[in-house]
């Protein structure tokens, strides 16, 4: 990392609670990013499974692959927003990604997202984040559908939760809106995006599918499914009341 400044670094925030069975795949997807330098900030929210052991088993891999890492291990479960707030205190990159520990990134997620956000911010300094379409996978990692988001509109974001949590965000926007409300226990991503947008930041949709969102027994209720009449294809729509 010699010769690189914090402006070059992209920080990956991973807030985890008892997702050890998916954590290997999540962390590997960060290691496999085509972009460097990267910082991982891992916050474990009082897991009772083997999550911490799995994270520690990856430290040598991170160092071998030029990835900085910071970690916080809570001994009690305080909620996702507490973990997010703690991570925001630690991140050092110009941009940050909030990645759920049961999801995974495609290899060029950072490379493509950063290129788009750099160009958008050169035009409009209030452009604060980009988000992408995604593939939906089952608990085994098999792609079962696609998640298609909608274009950014300020008023729509304030009313509906349609922007995926995993976007590339200008870290200054996160820190400006910090701390987020730790009493919010459901629909935490909507709380985050609402606060960022209310502060005057804008977003941009990248239509490419750049990460995988996992459906399993602990989050399946957050997705609504419908069949489109023109293509008879399953399309996933983000639920305003999704618990994430």
* CATH entry, 10-238, from 3.30.70.1060, 3.90.550.10, 3.40.50.720, 3.30.300.20: 3.90.550.10
Strand ranges for the chain from DSSP E:
10-16, 38-45, 67-74, 95-98, 104-105, 127-137, 143-147, 168-170, 202-214, 223-227, 234-238
Whether residue 217 is predicted with pLDDT greater than 90 in this model: the reply is no
Of all residues in the chain, what percent carry a pLDDT higher than 70? Answer: 88
Q: What is the pLDDT of residues 108-166, one digit of tens each?
A: 999 999 999 999 999 999 999 999 999 999 999 999 999 999 999 999 999 999 999 99
Residue bearing tokens 């990392």: 1
Evaluate the omega torsion of the peptide bond into residue 221 and state whether it is cis, within 30 degrees of 0: no
Helix (H) or strand (E) holding 126: none
Place of tokens 């922007």: 163
**β-bridge pairing 38-45 and 10-16:** parallel
End-to-end CA distance of the chain: give it in Å, rounded: 34
Instruction: Report the predicted TM-score, pTM, of the whole model to 2 decimal places.
Output: 0.90
The pLDDT of residue 144: 96
Task: Give the per-residue pLDDT at 238.
Answer: 43
Q: What is the pLDDT of residues 68-108, one digit of tens each?
A: 999 999 999 999 999 999 999 999 999 999 999 999 999 99
Q: Residue 131: how many CA atoms within 13 Å on its side-chain side?
A: 22
Please classify residue 133 by burial: count the beta carbons closer than 10 Å to its beta carbon, then call 0-12 exposed, 13-18 middle and 19+ buried: middle
Task: Compute the Cα dihedral for 5, 8, 13, 14 and give only its sign.
Answer: negative
Reported as a pLDDT band with limits 50, 70 and 90, residue 222 is very low
Q: Where are the domains of the chain?
A: 10-238
- Could you tell me whether strands 95-98 and 168-170 are parallel, antiparallel, or unpaired per DSSP bridges? antiparallel
For the CA atoms of 242, 163, 224, 106, what is the dihedral angle to 10 degrees? -110
Q: How many residues does the chain have?
A: 244
Q: Which long-range contacts (CB under 8 A, 24 or more apart) does 231-236 make?
A: 234/145, 235/145, 235/146, 235/148, 236/136, 236/145, 236/146, 236/147, 236/148
Q: What is the mean pLDDT of residues 208-212?
A: 98
- Cβ atoms of residues 99 and 169 within 8 Å: no
């Amino acid at each position: 990392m010699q010769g690189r400044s914090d402006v070059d670094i992209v920080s990956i925030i991973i807030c985890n609670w008892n997702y050890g069975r998916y954590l290997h795949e999540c962390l590997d997807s960060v290691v496999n990013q085509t972009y460097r330098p990267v910082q991982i900030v891992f916050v474990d929210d009082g897991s009772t499974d083997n999550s911490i052991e799995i994270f520690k088993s990856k430290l040598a891999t991170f160092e071998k692959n030029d990835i900085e890492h910071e970690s916080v291990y809570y001994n009690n479960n305080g909620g996702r927003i507490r973990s997010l707030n703690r991570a925001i205190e630690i991140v050092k990159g110009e941009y940050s990604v909030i990645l759920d520990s049961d999801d995974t990134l495609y290899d060029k997620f950072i490379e493509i997202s950063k290129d788009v956000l750099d160009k958008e911010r050169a035009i409009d300094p209030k452009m604060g984040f980009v988000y992408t379409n995604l593939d939906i996978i089952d608990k085994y990692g098999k792609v079962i559908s696609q998640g298609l988001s909608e274009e950014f509109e300020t008023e729509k974001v304030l009313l509906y939760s349609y922007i995926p949590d995993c976007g590339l965000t200008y870290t200054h926007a996160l820190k400006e809106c910090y701390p987020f409300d730790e009493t919010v226990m459901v629909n935490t991503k909507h709380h985050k995006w609402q606060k960022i947008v209310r502060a005057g930041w804008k977003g941009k949709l990248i239509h490419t599918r750049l990460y995988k969102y996992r459906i399993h027994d602990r989050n399946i209720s957050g997705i609504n499914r419908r069949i489109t009449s023109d293509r008879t294809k399953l399309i996933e729509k983000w639920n305003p009341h999704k618990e994430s």
